[in-house]
Amino acid sequence: MFSEGGEKSRLITQILTDENRDDVVENIATPNIQAITHSQKIIHKSKGLIDLLNNYAVNGFSPSSLSNYIRNPIDFYKQNLLGIQYTEEVEENIAANTMGTIIHDSLEELYTPFIDKEIDRNQLIESKKSIQSIVHKNFKKTYLDGAYESGKNLIAYNVVIRYIENFLG
């Protein structure tokens, strides 16, 4: 009979303080909790690894690569520095992160010619003509062997094109 706060109820306190009772025994039960120790893997950074990090840093760190590093530095090393990608199964339908990568890469390619330049409306309109071919190229690069000529994936392909067209205005 404990209240919400883990304290003895009034009844228990009254019974324990009753001098006429000798049949009440008070025991405090506590679980045996052992500390869990995690041994952290330490990888000494060789000159080759430092060079890989420096080369990777030249292009900048994406938010997802930083999250990957914080979550699991060894996975970051394998995926981002060595380029080892885990392909557990073939995507039958395009996942949201795959679409995001395709959109990001396509927009980057479309905007790269405008770096350090003022964007002219006519140039932007002209760049819209290459959206379909750029998206197609990035689908092939990112979606690998996935088919996007029919069904849900064709819809996703057209959504990406429409999204980029709307983004460019």
- Please tell me the pTM assigned to this model: 0.46
SS (H, E, C) the chain: CECCCCCECHHHHHHHHCCCCCCCCCCCCCCCCCCCCCCCCCCCCCHHHHHHHHHHHHCCCCHHHHHHHHHCHHHHHHHHHCCCCCCCCCCCCCCHHHHHHHHHHHHHHHHHHHCCCCCCHHHHHHHHHHHHHHHHHHHHHHCCCCCCCCHHHHHHHHHHHHHHHHHHC
Question: Tens digit of pLDDT for each residue in 59-73?
Answer: 888 887 788 788 888
Question: Tens digit of pLDDT for each residue in 102-158?
Answer: 889 999 998 888 888 888 888 888 888 899 999 888 888 877 666 777 777 788 888
Question: Of the segments 12-26, 33-47, 87-101, which one has the largest average pLDDT value?
Answer: 12-26
- Could you tell me the residue ranges of all domains in the chain? 47-81, 96-168
pLDDT score of 124: 81
pLDDT score of 6: 66
